Amino acid sequence: MALAIACGESSPSHLVLLGFVNRTLDSIKRNIAQIFANVFCSQTNNAVDARTCGNADLLPFKLEDFMTKFGEKYQLSAEDWFSENKNLNDKQDPHAVFNVLDVMLKDNLERLKMMRESISLANMNCQGWTFEANYLETAEIIKDLCLYGKLGTALWLRRKLMQKGVVFDVFTHNYLINGLCKTGDLDKADELIKEMSEQGPSPNCATYNTFINGYCLINNVDKVLDLFSTMANKGIKPNRVTCNILVHALCKKGHLEDAKKHLEEILDDDNDKTASDKIISSTILMDGYFKNGKMVQAKSVWDNVVQMDTQVDVVAYNVLINGFCSSQEIHLAFGYFCEMIKRGLLPDVFTYNTLISGLCKIGKFDEASYIHGIMSKIGIIPDQMSYKSLIQGLCINGVVVRANELLLGMLEKSMVPEPLIWNLIIDCYGRCGNLGKAFSTKNQMLIYGVKPNVYTYNALIYAQVKEGNITNAVSLKQEMHSYGLLPDVVTYNLLIGAACNSQNIEWALHLLDEMLMLGCEPDIITYTELIRGHCIKDNMKEAEELLRKMHNSGMPIDDVPYKILVKKYCKMRKPDKVFDLYYKWMERKRA
């Protein structure tokens, strides 16, 4: 009931309470009016005529009711009131009426005071509850806006409520900072942290962890180290997350020795860091060594972990196995795979995917297929990565039939492949000259609701160009627009190369103008194809002009354009041109 009053809602309970208060106040007025009427009006045993005393609404009952309640001994007539005889024949006390009046007034006023205080207290409590409920609801709204990427709206809502004196807690601010860091708006996140330091709430360790991780995403290690120092200056002690982020940032930037020193500090701090914290930091450093090709140092980190009798986990073994597979040390990878099982750790899908990818890189597709086959038997369902690694390896080596069987197996398991897997098979069929299978795979791709991309059409255009079907290749370029796709530099390079092969240099130049108009920058392959086209048409002046244009643009040039021109001048029996080009070629290589 009180909550309804505080919220200002016209609920039934609200009306009942207000009615009760009004009736109480009316009763007090009537009681006081009745008393004064009894004092100042002439009294008889009959009903009092209210009209002789004023408003009839003030006297809704008879004087007999009052006399019955308080007794006849307290009656006092008007004549007695103003009489000089104060003792009423020595039988009655004339102050008795005033005693009754005082008691009733005091009692009613006390009741009114208590009711007002109760209503006021309930109102204040309800307002506090309402404010707290609104605060929590608004904080949840800001968190949801941050999670859905509506950072502008979240910041606007925070600013509006801060103008009304509302200060959100540090957890709500951390959501805002996390969203800004994910979108790369680190300057805005920095401003928000400065506002927190000046106006409250004070940033905590999680605030700086989020901010540091934002700079790690853009590889700004200098800023990461600066923020790490700022935490210490502000008296905020870094936790395990901070240390792991810092080690990861240093490893990603290649500062492995600095990361190692930092890790040693973590390992020496036995009081604050648990065994799980140490294995995480060691795993990050080990992964950094592997990615930089330093297998000896990575193995040394692993040996230190084992010597400390630290409980290693599946993630640490996965990093170790992945590092050896990337270095094509498959026998070492399988050795640690067996050791992992002996320790009672069950390999996960990432472990098997790593082994499949490593075997495919060295061409051992039978072993990779065997591992892929036993995954389901031991209760580990192959995922998209499992199929992609094997299909990619098969397609690179031209084993397209086996790759297509794996794709059909995915469809049977209601696992729709991602576009990359479809494109690999389409490209492999195109390179093998099987255009029918390439286009049927593309149609099947559409049936399963997978939209083709630029790479899909480039694979089909390459297949058509390879077979000499230039008209069909141009039709595919036009078809791309129906899916909202724009040709890229690879598309134009394929078509320009086809035009030059057919000695249609005018069409090739038209395609060059078209790609420039669309904002697609030519690359070395574009100019090399045009140079070759001009040489076929004996347009040597135009060919050398294109080579000069490549030099002036600062584009990296390989040996192919020089070889094309030298070969053409040799056929034309112009040794001076050959030696001149050869001299420029050698000068550029020395430079």
pLDDT digits (tens, 9 = 90+) for 573-591: 888 888 888 888 888 777 6
Using an 8 Å Cβ cutoff, are 21 and 5 in contact? no
Average pLDDT of every residue of the chain = 79
How confident is the model at residue 129, as a pLDDT? 45
Answer whether residue 461 shows pLDDT above 50.
Answer: yes
Answer whether residue 12 shows pLDDT above 60.
Answer: no
Answer whether residue 317 shows pLDDT above 90.
Answer: yes
Outline where DSSP puts E strands in 501-572: none
- Higher-pLDDT residue of 337 and 260 is 337
Confidence of residue 329 (pLDDT cuts 50, 70, 90): very high
Range(s) for CATH 1.25.40.10 in the chain? 493-591
C-alpha to C-alpha distance for 55 and 253, rounded to whole angstroms = 95
- Higher-pLDDT residue of 58 and 108 is 108
How confident is the model at residue 130, as a pLDDT? 56
How confident is the model at residue 336, as a pLDDT? 93
How confident is the model at residue 115, as a pLDDT? 58
Mean pLDDT value across residues 256-275: 61
Answer whether residue 514 shows pLDDT above 60.
Answer: yes
Answer whether residue 49 shows pLDDT above 80.
Answer: no
- Higher-pLDDT residue of 75 and 168 is 168
Answer whether residue 103 shows pLDDT above 50.
Answer: yes
Angle made by CA atoms 529, 535, 541, in degrees to the nearest 5: 105
The number of beta carbons lying within 10 Å of the beta carbon of residue 151 is 20
C-alpha to C-alpha distance for 151 and 147, rounded to whole angstroms = 9
Using an 8 Å Cβ cutoff, are 1 and 125 in contact? no
Answer whether residue 63 shows pLDDT above 50.
Answer: no
Output the furthest CA–CA distance in the chain (Å, rounded).
160
Please give the CATH number for the structural domain made up of 493-591.
1.25.40.10
C-alpha to C-alpha distance for 400 and 404, rounded to whole angstroms = 6
Answer whether residue 62 shows pLDDT above 70.
Answer: no
End-to-end alpha carbon distance in the chain: 89
Using alpha carbons, list the distances in angstroms from residue 368 to 320, 347, 361, 375.
19, 16, 10, 11
Confidence of residue 36 (pLDDT cuts 50, 70, 90): very low
Nearest to 320 by CA among 311, 329, 309: 329
C-alpha to C-alpha distance for 236 and 213, rounded to whole angstroms = 16
